[in-house]
Structure formats: C-alpha cells, structure tokens
Structure 1
Amino acid sequence: MVEEEKDGEAQAQEETTNLVVPWMRAPVDVSHVDSCSLETLPSLHPRLKEALEKMGISSLFPVQVAVWHETIGPGGFERDVCVNSPTGSGKTLSYALPIVQTLSSRAVRCLRALVVLPTRDLALQVKGVFDAIAPSVGLSVGSAVGQSSIAGDIAQLIKTPKLDAGICYDPEDISQNLESSAVDILVATPGRLMDHINNTKGFTLEHLRYLVVDETDRLLRESYQEWLPTVLKLTQASDDGLFPSSTPFVPSAFGSLQTIRRQSVERGFKGKPYPRLAKLALSATLTQDPSKLIQLDLHHPLFMTTGATRYRLPEKLECLRLICETGVKPVYLVGLLKALEGEKCIVFTSSVETTRRLCKLLNFFGDSMIKAKEYSGGLNQAVRSKEIKAFRKGDIKVLISSDALARGMDVELVTNVINYDMPQYPKTFIHRAGRTARAGRDGRCFTLLGDHEVRRFSSLLKKVGNASCPIYPIPPDLFAPVRAIYEPALAKLKESVEPIAPKRGRQVGFKHNSRTTNSQTKRNKATSEQA
C-alpha cells in the first residue's frame, strides 16, 4: 500500500499546483507517426537489423520511430528527450536501439551509456533487451542491480589486465589504466549504482554519453541516496570549475567517493571530447511537476506523448467490472477465474499481506484450473524470479501480485489483469492495466468493486480517459459450486495463518469470538475482507 500512497501523494501535489513547464505545453504527438519496417528505417546497422529479426521484430512502433528520428535521424540528439507513452508501446526498445546504434560506431570499451530503473526485476528485463541487440555490434552490457554480490558485479564490470613482470611501467599509467570498464552499457538500480560510485575502484562515469531515466516519475519521487545529482556532477565537463586542476576533488557529500573525473580528461577520450551528456526520461505516467523535472537538468527538452490526454490506456484494452456482494469478494474472483478457463491472469491487490492471504485462500479451493502463486516485495529476489519465470512459461496461470509487478514489467501473453482491490489512483490503474494489451495485442482489465466503490471508480475512469466499463456477466451456475467450498476454504486459511505473528493476545486480521456457528461465519467474512 505504501507504493500507492506515494504515487497518490505525488499526483495530488501535481494537481494542486497545476503548473506545467513551458516545453510540455507543445508536445510531439507520436500517435501521428506511422510504424516503420526495418527495411525502410533510415541508417539502421545491418547487424542490428538481423538481431531484431531474430527477436521476431519486423517493424518499429510509432514511439520507437519518433525517438529514432530525434536521435539517429534529423534530430541528431541536439535536445534531451522525454517520453510519455502507454505501457506496452515499446519504450524500452525506443531508447535501446539508438543508443546501441550510436555506440557501435566507436570501437572503444568504456562505460558510455547508463540506464537507471527503480526495481531489480525491471532492470533485469531491460538488460535482456540490450543483451539481444548489443552483442551483434560488439558492445558489452553489464548490470548492477543487487541480485548478486558486489564482488560479482565488480568481476563483471571492471577489467583488470595482467601486467608483465619483465616490463617497467610508468606509475601514472598503472594508476590510470590498471582498472577499466569491461562494459559499454550499464543497467542499474540506484542503490547498487551508488555502491559502485562510492566504493568500486576503476568504476568511472567520465566517458558517459547517455543517461536513461526509466520510470522517471518514481525515480524522481524518491531520492535513492541522491543518485541523480551525484551522477550529474560526475559527468559535468572538467573545465566547468567543478574539478580544480591543482588538487583532486573528492566532495564530502559523496562520502568515500572514488569515481572522480581525472583532471586532464574532457568528455571523451584524451582531448577528443564527446558532445554533452544526452538524457532520455520515460514513463507511462511522466510527472509534470516542475520541481521534480528540474532535477534532470534537461537540455532544450523535447516532449513526446501519445494523444491529447495525459494518461492513456493501451489501444486494444477492454475494461470490465464486477459488482461484488459484501464479504464474499473471493467467490467472485474464483467465479471469474473459472469463467476465463485457464487464461493467463495477473491479480493485483493493494498490499503484500493481502497478496499472501489471497494466494493461500485460492489454493485452498482445490481447483487445479486456478492454482495460484504469489509475487510481491515480501519475497526474496530468487523466489520472485522463479515465480515470474514459471508464469512466463505458462506453468502458472494465475499470479497474485502486489504493485511490485505493476510498473514496466513485460510478461508475455498475459490476457487478463484483475484488480482484486480497486486502485486508488489513476497512475496505479494505468500501470496495472498495462500488463496486458501490450505491443498491439488484445487484453482485458477487470476490476472487482463493492457497491460503495462504484462512484469513485467511475471518477477514476474519467481521469484515465476511459468512459466505458461495462459489467462482465459471469454465468450464475459457476457461483453455486464456489460458494459451497468457500467457508471450508476460509477456515483452512484461518488455521494456516492464526499461529503466525500473534500481537498482544490476538491474531492479526481475525476477530476472536468462538461461541457460536454464526460467530464463525462472521470471522470468515472478516478474513475474506482481509484476503
């Protein structure tokens, strides 16, 4: 629930100020840009074309074409680029492709592109896109996401050449060249990036040419150890006064910072400077808050968006709703899952605790068609990776998730998204719904509602530009067998969680009253609301 609350607070602040920076008032509408086949895409490297075709890609989506023309084409990356485009519209490839194309023209191994994302899972997904295209033109891609030990990161990121014992080396050459980057492109989360900036010898941003801030609104909302001002300071030109030539500069605010720019090096290589650091900021719900955007220090930014409205759902998404009786929402969920007959579904809840309880409850129904697994921030990385892999392969058809899966994650062939808990804010609805109907495919987003939530949900739909959300008719004969096993399933859930984490004489999430059968039913209803 914390993630939703922060999104809501940020959005409420934006709506209160009602301020929009001038360059956002005249966006480039990429919905007017046509898709483009790889055959006709100007200047595309032949080996990149082959790599894309191996991925099953024969043409680029409008947002990808628009960014290509601004970076590789006539735009020439003279301006920084901000993209507000629906989930599933191809934002990752829109920046990965031009970055790889540009870096391939210079055969020098050093860190020249940095992509920062808020979560490990999303960072690993983005790295997979780079891994599919970068090696075809001789580029190396690394990750720093906290999944492995920092020693494992260093072994991957830093190249330490062996020195011949029979040769005398200049001490300055050794100190400057003993450790160098083993990657051209780094995909990182903010925390692990700062670990390397502060502590890893040989890790440097002095040659950085591209900075990508993906899921910008979330990364700007949270400071993440001041990663952004640190990166921007370390990538400023050496002649701007930041690094005096007389003494080494180690700013105290950055702690034991070892990744400082050498005084004699401009942006580039030994007196051959690159252009300025180019930045790309992307999100399906890009912030319009000037106080947030100013942190990026953008250079004549170009704003690309899709359509006239700020929020936009995937083009082929169908929104549907179910009105549920009080206290028996799980019955409606199970009835819906049975009606969908084994289609891939992600069920979103509002918290880690609800995710865990609901997953257990569904499995206590004993229906093999709706065997569910949990995906949430309450699980460690290894378990999350295992569950998402099984879901992608189709071994799992129902994934119960907190909003840990809502942002950016691309899970193949997800037919349905189900909001078990109604999202409280438009941003949350946009990101959840965007797990389906991706890349031009069809998809459905169901929302389960109590009577008291109908009006508020209608208001939310207007904010995301969707006025139509009919009631989904579930055949009545599906409910009878579900209701028959609902109470026993709830009882099993209570037994499974009651011994866990007692607090001051009572069990979390249950009301204690064991005098009558009616009291048992009331307890089960309370458990149902928790689930």
Structure 2
Amino acid sequence: MAMQTGAARLSLNRLMKGSGTISSRYFSDKKGRVLSEEEQAIENVYIKKMERERLEKLKKKLAAAEAEKDKSVNKMVEIEMKDVKKKHIKRKRTTTSITSNSSSVPVLPWMRSPIDVTEFEDCSLDLLPLLDPRLEEALQRMGFSSLFPVQVAVWQETIGPGAFERDLCINSPTGTGKTLAYALPIVQKLSTRVVKCIRALVVLPTRDLALQVKEVFAAIAPAVGLSVGLAVGQSSIEDEISELIKRTRLEAGICYDPEDHGVDLQSSVDILVATPGRLMDHINTTKGFTLEHLCYLVVDETDRLLREAYQSWLPTVLQLTSTNEDDIFSHARTFAHSMIGSLKTIRKSGVERGCKGKTSPRLMKMVLSATLTRDPSKLSQLDLYHPLFLTTGPQRYQLPEKLESYKLLCESKDKPLYLVALLQDLKGEKCIVFLSSVESAQKLSILLNSFELPFKIKLYSGLQHQSVRSKTLRAFREGETQVLVASDAMTRGMDVEGVRTVINYDAPAYIKTYVHRAGRTARAGQAGRCFSLLLRNEVDPFKKLLQKADRNTCSVYHPPDGLIESFRPQYTAALAKLKEYMESRTSRRRKISLKSQKVVKEKNIRNLEEI
C-alpha cells in the first residue's frame, strides 16, 4: 500500500510539472506531416483535456490510497484502544500509562497501557453475558454466585461482546481467582467441539499445582461434555498413556486391509494439564499423542517456567503447533486417509483480521503470574500475538488488599522459641510456616513436634513422595493438621481454604518470594496476616523489600509477657532430641555409604577374577 501511494504521488508530480510545456511542442500526424498552427491548437486543447482527466484520476487514486492506509491504521488503533460498553458489567480502561522511576517500568509498548482489573466489579453469574447455562449450574454447585474482577476481565476479552482473539498476559495477586479466570472461557469455547482431541494445554511448574488446576477444570468441564487429562508423573507413563490415548476398536470376524485400517490412536481428553517434563515424555515417546489440534495454550506461573528450560518444552510446543504452506498441501495429499482416520486441524496461513502470516484457527496463549516478568527477552520466547496486558495496578509486585504484615524481632539462638510462642498465641489457627530450604524445614518440623503443643504439626517438602505430600495437604485442608512447615515448593499457586496466617521463619531474600508466600492467605477477598521473624541485621533489607510492593509500614508483633520463658525448659529438651536425631541419621547414612562401597568393591574384585 505504501509503494502504491508513493508511485501515485510520483506520477502526479511529473504530470503537474510537464503540464505547462504542451503549447511549445511540435506535432505531426501518422504520415509525418507537420500540423498547421490551427491544427496544433486543436490538438493542444484535446491533450490538455486528457491530462486534466488523468490528473483527476491520479488525485482520486492517491486519496483512495491514503484513505485505505488511514483505515488500516484506525483498525489497529481500534484493536489497541477498544472500549466496549456492556450491559451489567462496568468496564473502564485505564488511561494512565505505567510511568515510574523504578526499574520495573515495562519496556514493551503493549505493557505501558494495560487494562486495570480493579476497574471491573464482581459480576453475578446470571448477569454474565453469553455464559452457558450448564456452566452456570456447575459453578453454583461449586459454591460460586458471582465472578471476581480478574475473572470478569478475562471473560470479557475472550467471550463477552466485542471480544477479540488476542493473547492475554495476566498479572494479578495470588488468591484473586486466576485459575478459574482462564478455565471458564476455555471450557465455554470448547463446549461446541465435535471430535475429541487435545485442544487446550495448561502447563504448570509443579505436580501439586497441576493437580489443583486439574480439579478446577474437572469441576466444570463434564457439564458440557469435555474430558480433562493429567500428565504430571504421578503415576507410571504407561498408566497415563492408557488414560490419554484410546485405540479404535475393530469389529470381530471382519478382515481389514492393514494398509487401509491401521491401528488408529485417538485422544481420550479435550483438555490436558501437565508439567513440562512429563509433557515432553509424551511428545517424544507416546504414539498417538499430538498437539496439532491445539487451540489454547496456558502458561501458568510464567516467570518460573521461563526461568528454567525444562527440556526446551516451550519451543517444542510452539513448533508443533505452527504451520506453513507445505503443511497445508501435505494435508491435502492425505485427505482421503484423514477421512477414515483422526480428524486433522488445518491452520491456514494467510490474512487474519488484517495480520499476515497468522494461522486460522490461531493458537491463543494465556500467560499468568502474580509476579509476571516484564523482561522482553523472556516474553519473546512466547511468540505472543498482539498481546493484551491485564494487571491490578502500576506495581509489578502486589500483595492482597486485605493482608496485614507484621515483623517479630528476635535473636538467632532463640528464633525457634519465638516461633513456638507465636504459634501458641495463635491458638491452633490454621497457618503455614515457610523456610528457605528443605533441610531447614525438616529440622524445624522435628523440633516443633518435640514441644507439647495442643495442635498437630506436619512437614510439607519437595523431597517427600507425591502420595505423602497429597496426604499431608488433604489433612491440612480438612483441619486434621493445624500447622504446616513447608519449603518454598508450596509458595506458588497452592490454594488451601481457611489459611488465616503465614509465617516467614526465614526472611525472604526477594520480594517475589514474599509475594508468593504471603499469597497463601488473604485469598478471594478474605483477610489474612503474614508474620516475619527477623534478626537485627535483617530489619532494613526487609523494609526495602516491602517498599517494592508499595508497603511502607510493617507493625511489630510482641509475644505475650512470660510466654517465651514458659517454653524455655521444653526448648532445651527439644534441642537435645533434635541433636540426637541428627546424629542417628548421620550414623545411618554413614553405614549405608560404607555398605555400598563394600558391595562395589566386591563386584570389582569378582570382575577382575573373571578376567
């Protein structure tokens, strides 16, 4: 279009420059005879008329080209700045760009003018536009009567009136309902599917988080006839394959030509929730496992998934879901086979809503985190299409609105004693104690269980077997366990109802860690508290850390008088028990190591004797 406009201007300029020289030309007829002055005058009039007409045509052509260019630009501006007013839903796009002197200023242009989720209001299910009645009933069975602001915002951009198919980047504090925010529109969109195949893939960094997300999908997907699968390594890969892939049954007593009727493997699920490692296992080894029909890719806890390679799962998935023209022609050549085999999804390469080179149907991506990265080099890995940024404010790191922060000053040698006093003062209230390492969490759990406390304390560690962690988490949710001692494996995404308090036994080194730890409480608009045990030299760094989340004050907590000293005798005995346990464990490990060395030595001797 730009080249056509330039050519039109060039022709117009040349014509206007040459229009004044017509009368000075000499003309001749077809036989070469020079025309008389009268004939030349008539010819001049005719040529001037022709040039005027040509000039008018060029002007119209130039105007049309400029109008088409403006139309294209306006369309893109409309896409960027659309503000659709909807019945029953308050929708307001923030006009304030994120401008700050801090290093958290987003570099990418589309992150500078985000949609402010806080401008949305809770919306009752019966007022949510276009919601499938079957899904409304499923949500009501789950105890929902309305959706939270982030859920309403995502629904509007994906399903609601005026929705446009764009990739979404969602930065919202923990406990605001991000899982249902993407699960609900995906299930609604896929509810009209005819052939069962993997059309939505949700990738999460940990098994526990994947199990939790799968439960959310499983609560609403069956209502519209969709199946949800899980690939996290919780069971053997053979068991997972049997759940994800099915074989077409052939009728007995009938002869089939092997070339025409091979074993046709088809997906048993519409939505797959997976961790990166097990996802790559299925991509590389499972026959019949394909992502060629994928319509939705959700990357939950994006910053963590982008920080580690995880066997290059992301470029692999993007490669498997991309299409070029060769793919289309190869599909056409095998059309007859596809009619009796599994249905193929053709992603046509061409113009989609004014954007060249995009596929149709296009793979829609949703990336989410409470601490979404704004590093262009990391976000570029996602290959986002015209992304839309939804956030709850200008700050990258945001804490729940109803979270109260407290600090507890103590000496290093008495730190466990202060923790016991705090737990006793909480009177068995359901809480999580976070430590920076698995080893420290294990030691503290042993130490706390040596006290005679009137509540149950359990360890939740990444080194535990999945079945042990699941059992511990279930007991905690049901109230059988009141205190959970955990490493940072539980900081992301885990949703446990009724957690009123979070305790940072080890002060977090980064604001991102504090945000994810504190996010285990004050969820879904509820109130919560976060206590941090600090040494004297940790006070100033902790203050600066909270300022990154726009928290300038943190109250000091003082245990009741005499409570700490009342536990001093038990503390001395508990330390002795811990020392005894650690020495016993070290002795066992030494014996196992010596036994292993002895076995290896004997094996080497036998090998030498055989030689």
TM-score by shorter chain over 0.5:
yes
Separation of aligned partners in 1, 2:458 and 2:266: 43
Q: Match of 1:301, as an amino acid?
A: P
Separation of aligned partners in 2, 1:172 and 1:50: 47
Q: Corresponding residue for 1:8?
A: none
Q: Where does 1:374-523 land on structure 2 (aligned, <5 Å)?
A: 374-501=459-586
Separation of aligned partners in 2, 1:144 and 1:488: 46
Q: Corresponding residue for 1:326?
A: 412
Q: Corresponding residue for 2:182?
A: 95
The alignment yields a C-alpha RMSD, in angstroms, of 2.4
Q: Corresponding residue for 2:137?
A: 50
Go from structure 1 to structure 2 and tell me whether the alpha carbon gap of 1:344 and 1:17 turns closer, same or farther (over 3 Å shift): closer
Separation of aligned partners in 1, 2:281 and 2:527: 42
Contact (CA 8 Å) 1:347, 1:419: kept in 2 or not?
yes
Residue 285 (structure 2) pairs with residue 199 (structure 1): yes
Separation of aligned partners in 2, 1:314 and 1:90: 12
Q: Corresponding residue for 2:361?
A: 275
The Cα of 1:108 is off from its aligned counterpart by 2.1
Go from structure 1 to structure 2 and tell me whether the alpha carbon gap of 1:265 and 1:433 turns closer, same or farther (over 3 Å shift): closer
Q: Match of 2:514, as an amino acid?
A: F
Q: If you compute each CA radius of gyration, which structure gives the higher value, 1 or 2? A: 2
Separation of aligned partners in 2, 1:227 and 1:482: 51
The Cα of 1:366 is off from its aligned counterpart by 2.1
The Cα of 1:168 is off from its aligned counterpart by 4.4
Contact (CA 8 Å) 1:243, 1:263: kept in 2 or not?
no
Structure 2, unpaired ranges of 5+? 1-101, 335-340, 349-358, 591-611
Q: Corresponding residue for 2:310?
A: 224
Larger relative contact order (Cα-Cα within 8 Å, sequence gap ≥ 6): 1
Q: Match of 2:192, as an amino acid?
A: S
Q: Corresponding residue for 2:271?
A: 185
Contact (CA 8 Å) 1:349, 1:402: kept in 2 or not?
yes
The Cα of 1:160 is off from its aligned counterpart by 1.1
Larger deviation: 344-353 or 460-469?
Answer: 460-469
Contact (CA 8 Å) 2:197, 2:268: kept in 1 or not?
yes
The Cα of 1:386 is off from its aligned counterpart by 0.8
Separation of aligned partners in 1, 2:537 and 2:328: 58
Go from structure 1 to structure 2 and tell me whether the alpha carbon gap of 1:159 and 1:41 turns closer, same or farther (over 3 Å shift): same
Q: Match of 2:457, as an amino acid?
A: A
Go from structure 1 to structure 2 and tell me whether the alpha carbon gap of 1:263 and 1:184 turns closer, same or farther (over 3 Å shift): closer
Q: Secondary structure at the match of 2:325?
A: coil
Q: Secondary structure at the match of 2:502?
A: strand
Q: Secondary structure at the match of 1:417?
A: strand
Contact (CA 8 Å) 2:106, 2:112: kept in 1 or not?
no
Q: Where does 1:69-468 land on structure 2 (aligned, <5 Å)?
A: 69-169=156-256, 171=258, 174-175=261-262, 178-239=264-325, 265-267=345-347, 275-369=361-455, 371-468=456-553
Q: Match of 2:175, as an amino acid?
A: G
Separation of aligned partners in 2, 1:478 and 1:37: 48
Go from structure 1 to structure 2 and tell me whether the alpha carbon gap of 1:224 and 1:443 turns closer, same or farther (over 3 Å shift): same
Go from structure 1 to structure 2 and tell me whether the alpha carbon gap of 1:246 and 1:28 turns closer, same or farther (over 3 Å shift): closer
Separation of aligned partners in 2, 1:181 and 1:238: 24
Q: Corresponding residue for 2:599?
A: none
Separation of aligned partners in 2, 1:86 and 1:207: 32
Q: Which TM-score applies when normalising by structure 2? A: 0.74
The Cα of 1:477 is off from its aligned counterpart by 2.5
The Cα of 1:22 is off from its aligned counterpart by 1.4
The Cα of 1:173 is off from its aligned counterpart by 5.3
Contact (CA 8 Å) 1:245, 1:263: kept in 2 or not?
no
Q: Secondary structure at the match of 1:445?
A: strand
Separation of aligned partners in 2, 1:122 and 1:430: 17
Separation of aligned partners in 1, 2:204 and 2:560: 43
Contact (CA 8 Å) 1:181, 1:203: kept in 2 or not?
yes
Q: Corresponding residue for 1:7?
A: none
Q: Corresponding residue for 1:23?
A: 110
Q: Match of 1:230, as an amino acid?
A: T
Separation of aligned partners in 2, 1:55 and 1:472: 38
Larger deviation: 39-48 or 467-476?
Answer: 467-476
Percent identical across equivalent pairs?
63
The Cα of 1:17 is off from its aligned counterpart by 9.7
Report Cα offsets for 1:240-261 as digits up to 9, x if no partner: 669967999xxxxxxxxxxxx9
The Cα of 1:479 is off from its aligned counterpart by 1.4
Contact (CA 8 Å) 1:321, 1:472: kept in 2 or not?
yes
Q: Which TM-score applies when normalising by structure 1? A: 0.85
Structure 1, unpaired ranges of 5+? 1-14, 249-260, 506-531
Separation of aligned partners in 2, 1:121 and 1:451: 36
Q: Corresponding residue for 2:3?
A: none
Separation of aligned partners in 2, 1:439 and 1:84: 16
